[in-house]
Copies of this chain bind each other. A is one copy, B any other.
Amino acid sequence: MEKQHYTRDDMAGLLRGHGINPTHQRIEIAYALFSRQEHLSADQIMAIVNDRHSETSKATVYNTLNLFKLHKLVREVIVDPSKVFYDPNTGPHHHFYNLQSGELIDIDARDVQIQGLPALPTGMVTEGVDVIIRIRPQHT
């Protein structure tokens, strides 16, 4: 279970804990992701952060998301060919992907076992296992 109510101060602490200088922009971007616990695109994050008044530029949104990714504070989810989703849940988990609405739903990986995978090519190690279950409304 994730904490339910994050404050901007929590975000500052989180960033400091990763050796990241908690600037106003970084805090707002982290807050957008962690306070909602949703899968958001860079564009959506920028819209949320700049909702009331302009807080950050596009360049900073991308810089910051790439910085967070580097520190494994967020994870990328690649399911839509046209945009990346950023995921504040960095624990091992998989996804349902609603092809109609674009919505992503988390599946805890502890409940899931995958059997019968072939051995890795020699000299290779696993960086991550993604299971994506593409779903759509019945019938059509």
A78 to chain B: closest residue by CB: B81
Inter-chain contact A81/B84, CB cutoff 8 Å: yes
Tell me if A80 counts as interface (CB < 8 A to partner B): yes
8 Å CB contacts to B: which residues of A59-83? 76, 78-81, 83
B138:A125 contact, CB within 8 angstroms: yes
Residues of B within 8 A of A131 (CB): 114, 129-131
- How many copies the complex holds: the figure is 2
A112 at the interface (CB under 8 A from B): yes
Of A8-16, A23-31, A44-52, A116-124, the one with at least 4 CB within 8 A of chain B: A116-124
Expressed in whole angstroms, the Cα–Cα distance for A44 and B76 within the complex equals 25
The reply on A54 being an interface residue by CB < 8 A is no
Q: Are A134 and B128 in contact (CB under 8 A)?
A: yes
State whether the Cβ of A90 lies closer than 8 Å to any Cβ in chain B.
Answer: no
Q: Is A4 an interface position by the 8 A CB rule?
A: no
Which residues from chain B contact A130 at a C-beta distance below 8 Å? Answer: 130-134
Q: A121-B135, A129-B134 are in contact. List 15 more A-B contacts (CB 8 A).
A: A81-B83, A81-B84, A107-B118, A111-B116, A112-B117, A113-B114, A117-B133, A120-B133, A124-B135, A125-B135, A126-B134, A127-B134, A127-B135, A127-B136, A128-B133
Identify the 3 closest CB pairs spanning chains A and B, nearest first.
Answer: A127-B134, A124-B135, A111-B116
